[in-house]
Chains A and B, each alone.
Chain A
Amino acid sequence: MSEINLANPEVAVREIRLGSITGFGGSAEELMQQSRCGLKDKGRSFSQCLGCSTAQAACMVTLIQDAAVISHGPVGCSSCLHEFAFTYRVNSPLRGIGTPTPRRIFSTNLAERDTIYGGAEKLAAAIREVYARTKANAIFVLTTCAAGIIGDDTESVCDEAEEELSIPVIAIFCEGFRSKVWTSGFDAGYHGIARKLIAPPRQRRTDIINVINFWGSDIFSEWFAPFGAKPNFITPYSTVESLKYASEAAATIQACQTLGSYLGAVLEKEFGVPEIKAAPPYGVAQTDHWFRTLGKLMGKEDEAEALIAEKKKEYLPGIAALREKLQGKTAYVTGGAAHGHALLSILGELGLTAIGASIFHHDPLYDNDAEDADALAASVKNYGDVPNFNVCNKQEFELVNTLSRLRPDVLLCRHGGMTLWGAKLGIPAQLIGDEHFGMGYEGIVRYGERILETLENDEFVKNLEKHAVNPYTKWWLSQDPLTFLEGHKSA
């Protein structure tokens, strides 16, 4: 079980804290079983670009309405953050933000000289300048590989600045080289928020439920109404003030446990906010169970039953109709841990056969240590085993090889860049960015309709297939896809 220590500036990365892995080949059930008895990671002797913690930490702090963000590193370590500025602006209507303010994103722009003499003074000056420029209600400082290796004392600089400026100045330790599981960056972001922003509860409120999520549509206001509660979204579109009193909520739920694992556990253990430990509501069985767990926690079990009955009456006929159309179709899933598992459940509910999956990492159990929260276990239990189940951190070469063998009817993706290879191989591929899109009974219908649409409109991918450029060698495409995974037969 993971330890939580908010006195420590850093939270341990997933590999250490949860025993998370990024390399596995087998079936979903095998992975699940091994997860309960000492799962071991496997390296690769060939690897392609991953992604790192600093971007994930940035993703959780950049979208806080009234905060500023400083990347303490060379200018390249904040290069992709403009995408969050775009997201913030474009999705703001989904959260009722009429006039989204520009995101304030800075780099300390470390240069060679700083790697020799240290970058601490530069950071201290940067924090002052950023405050003068933005008057932000909080400033987050993200560390990078360079700042980490040269050994800048980022924590002390932030503490001193906090005292001087009288606003929270929060060091987040998210150097890329520390973890191959980039979701460690989420934990790092939340650790900083929990240490410096979240205040002890003044009261316990029954009308607020924390929702740890990205920036999807608000389905929760409607869902929580029967329980007499409203969602408190963490962290995109939150404010420094709304985060501060996340400690007073009646409960915490998660759209994706690999995102909120750590913060959910911290809110429960350190601030007394109970976490809904059931696997998230994807597929009918998990949705039933999730609403019941929520009802029990809120002391409103009758309301939960009424809601389940009402929604099932409305959506089950639609699900059945979709199942008839989709029955027997094959699908391949690629995505982050918990959300990829969620997609498998949706597929199972819709009658499609998952013939494989490539999931970016695997957490044996989450920070809450609850087996009931294991989305993969729930999916296997409810919809059966999945063969060709790989844990693979976006290693495109493995994906291309696997897809060209399995040739599913449809490819479902959750992270950018992966649909391309479905399309190049003429396999209809879809990416749904809104993580709330497939939730609940209505989500199954929405997802099913989209899959049908993707299957029906395959003209684009069929044309692309004829002209696609493929940089992979014939040799590679004729090898076992796990050739370069440690412990597999060597090429």
Chain B
Amino acid sequence: MSGIIEQERYTCAIGALQTVVAIPRAVPILHSGPGCGNMIQGFFERSTGYAGGSTSPCTNFSEREVVFGGEDRLRENIRNTYRVLDTDLQVVLTGCTAGIVGDDVGAVCEEFRAEGKPLVAVETPGFQCNNFEAHSLVVNAIIDQYVALYEDENPARSEKNTVNLWASIPYQDPFWKGNLREYKRLIEGLGFRVHVLFGPDAAGVSEWQRIPRANFNILVSPWYGLPIAEHLKEKYGQPFTRFPSVPIGANETERFLRQALAFAGEHGAGFDTEQTENFLAREIGGYYEEIDNLATFLLEFRYGLPNHAHILHDAGYVVGLSKFLLHEVGIVPKEQFAVDGTPEAFQAEIRADLASASDKKTIPLYFEPDAGKAQDVIRGLSHSGRGIILGSGWDKELAKEKDFDFLSVSVPSPYRLTLTTNYVGFSGGLRVIEDIYDTVLATYR
């Protein structure tokens, strides 16, 4: 799992500083080399948030700190962060330099916590893991070092109809803001109260403090984020239900919501069944009104539409989009590429999930973090008809080479701006359709 990588689609552990940036009024403090923050900013682009990017404090390791250690420098920088920046939560993240030198960052932060500062330390040297995995490290560190301080006012599992949602990884999923908003709207529509914790629809640190109150956790993920759900199970006895792929369109969204409902039922939550059924019926009805209206175009457009797709994305999107394209758009998913460094232990389950998409068709799936290699596979393929690639900015050139359509749906991508668009849910499915055919129709001039 640590071979070379061409055209990286994720970044290293310290990239999880974006997990902090996504919490309203929180600030990441980097104890790292001078370029780490800049690299992460360059990877995600337009990702500054409240106090990320050039605003984030950083000790900017120099030769001196490498030789003598950087704890004093960190202490000074934290102290002055409190004077310069107005924030509710501070999270220190370490880079390779601090990691190799062996600074005791935990002890430095403990000093400030003893003074009552909401300061969390987490070790994220780049060589340790990637940002998919480090996202869980950061969240669990906040739970242990911050949320735990508020347990008295927030008894574990004290609200039967409240859930914590762990789904899109902020910034690594370019649609995270819109997705979390849509998850929240849908799950609230069923009658839950939801902590989404990240982004404009989260209430900030007060919502984090209330994490223990939730009855259970909902995890939407093929593999990442699992340590968070497991940690909360152990710490607060909260069970969790996991939906393994990103629910896009009507089939999977309904399945996802019914799974959550059933799980809630098993764990003592109470719902007004008529209300939840009415909500689902309205959502599904609205969705199919659009598909009905669109079907003529999809079936009859005479000037060429893509008939097959290759997706390069994280495993959750690869499976979610494949199912959606096949059943709800009529585009056949061909060879697919999970480029998220999926751990081997999860691969069989993900293959089975994708295989469940069709009993007629086999969709070849590659787990390949070396996306340059994945591209070479696509280069060597030839299917009849017009193809479309759903991937990151790197894939635009490949699409041109193959004379395929291209839709930018993953990071890094300098070719698309995403603000609050969502791809999950019923509305997300419709948006994917709009985006695909906008791209296709724009080729006619």
Binding site for B on A (CB under 8 A): 45-55, 70, 73-83, 85-86, 89, 102, 104-115, 122, 125-126, 129-130, 133, 144-146, 149-150, 175-180, 182, 394, 396-397, 417-418, 420, 469, 471-473, 475-476, 484, 491
Contact, CB under 8 Å: B43 / A79: yes
Whether, in the assembled complex, B158 has its beta carbon less than 8 Å from a beta carbon of chain A, the answer is no
Interface class of chain B by DSSP: mixed
Contact among A47, A83, A133, A149 for B414, CB-based, below 8 A:
A83
Can you give 20 contacting A-B residue pairs, CB < 8 Å?
A46-B80, A46-B81, A48-B58, A51-B35, A52-B38, A73-B96, A74-B13, A79-B42, A83-B42, A108-B4, A109-B3, A110-B2, A111-B1, A111-B127, A129-B4, A149-B97, A179-B62, A471-B51, A472-B86, A491-B83
Whether, in the assembled complex, B10 has its beta carbon less than 8 Å from a beta carbon of chain A, the answer is yes
Contact, CB under 8 Å: A77 / B39: yes
Bound Cα distance from A110 to B51, whole angstroms = 29
Whether, in the assembled complex, B435 has its beta carbon less than 8 Å from a beta carbon of chain A, the answer is no
Contact, CB under 8 Å: A106 / B127: no
The 5 closest A-B pairs by CB, nearest first: A80-B42, A52-B35, A76-B12, A49-B37, A74-B126
> Which residues of chain B are near A115, meaning CB under 8 Å?
96, 99-100, 127
Contact among A53, A85, A176, A484 for B394, CB-based, below 8 A:
A85
> Which residues of chain A are near B84, meaning CB under 8 Å?
46, 397, 472-473, 476
Chain A proximity mask over B57-88: 1 for CB below 8 Å, otherwise 0: 11111110110000000001100110111110
Whether, in the assembled complex, B30 has its beta carbon less than 8 Å from a beta carbon of chain A, the answer is yes
Whether, in the assembled complex, B53 has its beta carbon less than 8 Å from a beta carbon of chain A, the answer is yes
Within 8 A of A (CB), among B122-170: 125-128, 130-131
Contact among A77, A108, A178 for B63, CB-based, below 8 A:
A178
Given A76-B12, A76-B14, A76-B39, A48-B56 contact (CB < 8 Å): yes
Contact, CB under 8 Å: B8 / A107: yes
> Which residues of chain A are near B96, meaning CB under 8 Å?
73-74, 115, 144-146, 149
Bound Cα distance from A102 to B401, whole angstroms = 10
Whether, in the assembled complex, B245 has its beta carbon less than 8 Å from a beta carbon of chain A, the answer is no
Contact among A86, A125, A182, A417 for B34, CB-based, below 8 A:
A182
A-B interface pairs (CB < 8 A), number: 237
> Which residues of chain A are near B372, meaning CB under 8 Å?
104, 106, 133
Bound Cα distance from A107 to B13, whole angstroms = 15
Q: Which of A52, A70, A108 has the most CB of B within 10 A?
A: A52
Contact, CB under 8 Å: A49 / B38: yes
Contact, CB under 8 Å: A177 / B8: no
**Shortest distance between the CB of A259 and any CB in chain B (Å):** 18
Contact, CB under 8 Å: A55 / B38: yes
Contact, CB under 8 Å: A55 / B397: no
Contact, CB under 8 Å: B35 / A104: no
Whether, in the assembled complex, B33 has its beta carbon less than 8 Å from a beta carbon of chain A, the answer is yes
Bound Cα distance from A484 to B39, whole angstroms = 25
> Which residues of chain B are near A48, meaning CB under 8 Å?
37, 54-58
Contact, CB under 8 Å: B77 / A176: no
Bound Cα distance from A370 to B125, whole angstroms = 43
> Which residues of chain B are near A396, meaning CB under 8 Å?
54-55
**Shortest distance between the CB of B233 and any CB in chain A (Å):** 27
> Which residues of chain B are near A180, meaning CB under 8 Å?
34, 60, 62
Within 8 A of A (CB), among B183-234: none
Contact, CB under 8 Å: B58 / A76: no
**Shortest distance between the CB of B310 and any CB in chain A (Å):** 17
Given A51-B34, A83-B42, A75-B130 contact (CB < 8 Å): yes
Given A85-B394, A471-B87, A472-B84, A45-B76 contact (CB < 8 Å): yes
Bound Cα distance from A472 to B60, whole angstroms = 20
Bound Cα distance from A203 to B64, whole angstroms = 46
CB closest chain-A residue, reference B7? A105
**Shortest distance between the CB of B197 and any CB in chain A (Å):** 20
Contact among A75, A76, A89 for B36, CB-based, below 8 A:
A76
Given A75-B8, A113-B2, A82-B35 contact (CB < 8 Å): no
